[in-house]
């Protein structure tokens, strides 16, 4: 697991639910537009109870990291990074990644900066040989984020295109 990493504009920090109060933030970030291409369990969250359950489910799946701007706004969470399979005791060296950024901050290159930071950080981890990102076939913006950062199309499964970055 990573603890905290930073890029030019972003601070990415491991989430442990009890450390921060994310309920309202989750509801604000997981809007209908932001979750349009995501699984149904990520959609339609409108209450603190639903947000808590969503966070518990994501924590059970793997590593979650909050995204914020470096500097004076560093406490304001603007999205999440998900990393599955990192430092787990398995023979696989493939790590799955995903992200969601508040639509307030779309179009600023933050997703591309985030993925570049993840690649740069994990390059030094000799246990990781492949990063894998799954994207809905219709989500052209996220496909561009991955391909811009050197990911190549691998396969499709159930309407999801998988892109891989090999170290």
Block mean pLDDT (10 aa), the chain, length 167: 86 73 86 93 91 89 90 77 76 86 96 97 87 95 97 94 96
Alpha helices in 9-47 (DSSP H): 23-29
Cα 5 from Cα 7, distance rounded (Å): 7
166 - beta bridge partners? 130
Rounded CA-CA distance 81/5 in Å is 12
Residue 152's pLDDT is 98
Q: Tokens 């537009």 identify what position?
A: 33
The single-letter DSSP state of residue 30 is S
Q: What is the pLDDT of residue 6?
A: 93
Distance CA 47, CA 51 (A): 6
167/165 Cα distance (integer angstroms):
7
Name the pTM for this structure: 0.90
**How many structural domains compose the chain?**
1
pLDDT score of 59: 87
Read off the CATH number of the domain in which 54 is found.
3.40.630.30
- Which tokens hold the place of 59? 């924590």
Query: b vs e for 114-146, b when ≥16 Cβ sit within 10 Å of the residue's Cβ?
Result: bbbbbbebbeeeeebeebbbbbeeebeebbebb
Domain that holds residue 59: 4-166
């Amino acid at each position: 697991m990573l603890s905290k990493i930073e890029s030019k504009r972003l601070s990415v920090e491991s989430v442990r639910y009890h450390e921060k109060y994310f309920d309202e933030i989750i509801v604000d970030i997981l809007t209908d537009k932001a979750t349009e291409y995501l699984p149904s369990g990520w959609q339609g969250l409108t209450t603190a109870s639903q947000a808590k359950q969503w966070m518990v489910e994501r924590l059970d799946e793997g590593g979650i990291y909050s995204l914020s701007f470096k500097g004076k706004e560093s406490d304001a969470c603007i999205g999440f990074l998900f990393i599955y399979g990192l430092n787990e005791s398995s023979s696989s060296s493939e790590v799955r990644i995903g992200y969601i950024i508040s639509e307030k901050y779309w179009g600023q290159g933050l997703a591309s900066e985030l993925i570049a930071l993840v690649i740069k950080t994990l390059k030094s981890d000799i246990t990781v040989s492949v990063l894998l990102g799954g994207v809905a076939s219709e989500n052209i913006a996220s496909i561009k984020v991955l391909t811009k950062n050197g990911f190549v199309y691998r396969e499709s499964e159930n309407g999801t295109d998988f892109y891989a970055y090999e170290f």
